[in-house]
Amino acid sequence: MKPNVAIMGATGAVGAELLELLDERNFPLNSLKLLASARSAGKKIEFKGETLTVEELTHDSFEGIDLVLASAGGSLSKEYAPSAVKAGAIVVDNTSFFRMTEGVPLVVPEVNPEAIKEHKGIIANPNCSTIIMALPLAPLHKAFGIKRCVVSTYQAASGAGAKAMEELKEETEAHLKGEAYENTVINQPYAFNLFPHNSPMLDNGYVEEEMKMVNETKKIFQDPDFKVTATCIRVPIMRAHSESINLEFEKPFTIEEAYELLKNAEGVEVYEDRENNLWATPLMASGKDPVYVGRIRRDLSCENGLELWVVGDQVRKGAALNAIQIAEKLEY
């Protein structure tokens, strides 16, 4: 059957991308309800030639709804997702709130689609950086066994939401004019700057974003002993995250085998122009579905090591597209 769909957080950056993808992929929906905070209620949004009115999110918003695509923030998912499930809907949640909750599947459809059927009303979308990393890791791990993964991320403003993207633009313009600018989303100068990720610092010296990558990867691959460490950096890029990934395998491998696996991996596109020293960039990946992989080479410092450069659109595959792909595999 065609589901009745609601988008929680319809006026945010991910909400806008969800709407675009529902249209672009011709998702078989019966009806669409747009939900947001009281301040956004009444806003008009065009979808497939129709003008939809954004409604205020309440606990009664889910009557008759089969699917909720939630991207309104963790506190709102915590409050309203149980009401949606109680009303009979399946929630695909884009926030971090349910990701590590026992019994809630954490899904990247190209990697662990079998986990979808285990849901009890809520399915969690992983962190954007985790999704982008998991796609190239999955076929390599299956073939050679990843002994250790070291990742450094270069994360765009899009990861902090639509307001952070707008502030980066405004601050850059102010900087070029020699004018002062006060950020409200990022806690330090962002234009022409970079810094360790601005998520909260934890007692172990990692920030939340880094531990999301560590813990979520273990859950997705169903391996609590999977060894991964992350350093996450915020860079003054509008959209699309980049990652430098170093892998050490249990088994020997050839570069040719690694290329073949990555070229055939669902959702992955190998992009390399060695002759001209050109590789995937955030500008190239923005608005695109694939996760791009390049700079594929042996790590000269260890026997079974591999280096990768990975770029993916945080708003698209890192959030909205992954959620839509999960929804496409559900039975209503």
Residues annotated as catalytic are 128, 241
Please give the Cα distance from 310 to 280 (Å, whole number): 8
H or E stretch including 309?
strand 305-312
Please give the Cα distance from 137 to 105 (Å, whole number): 19
Q: Where are the alpha helices (DSSP H) in 60-116?
A: 74-86
H or E stretch including 212?
helix 208-220
Q: What is the DSSP string of 167-199?
A: HHHHHHHHHHHT-----SSSSS--TT--EE--S
How many Cα atoms occupy the beta-carbon half-sphere of 113 within 13 Å? 11
Token reading at 131: 């999704």
Is residue 136 within 8 A of residue 269, CB to CB? The reply is no
3-state secondary structure of 162: helix
Please provide the size of the chain in residues: 332
Residue 296, φ and ψ in degrees, nearest 5: -75, 115
DSSP state letter for 252? -
H or E stretch including 150?
strand 146-155
Is residue 42 within 8 A of residue 52, CB to CB? The reply is no
Is residue 186 within 8 A of residue 160, CB to CB? The reply is yes
Burial letters 111-146, b for 16+ CB under 10 A, else e? bbeebbeebebbbbbbbbbbbbbbbbbbbbbeebeb
In angstroms, the Cα distances linking 309 to 52, 107, 240, 281 are: 41, 23, 13, 10
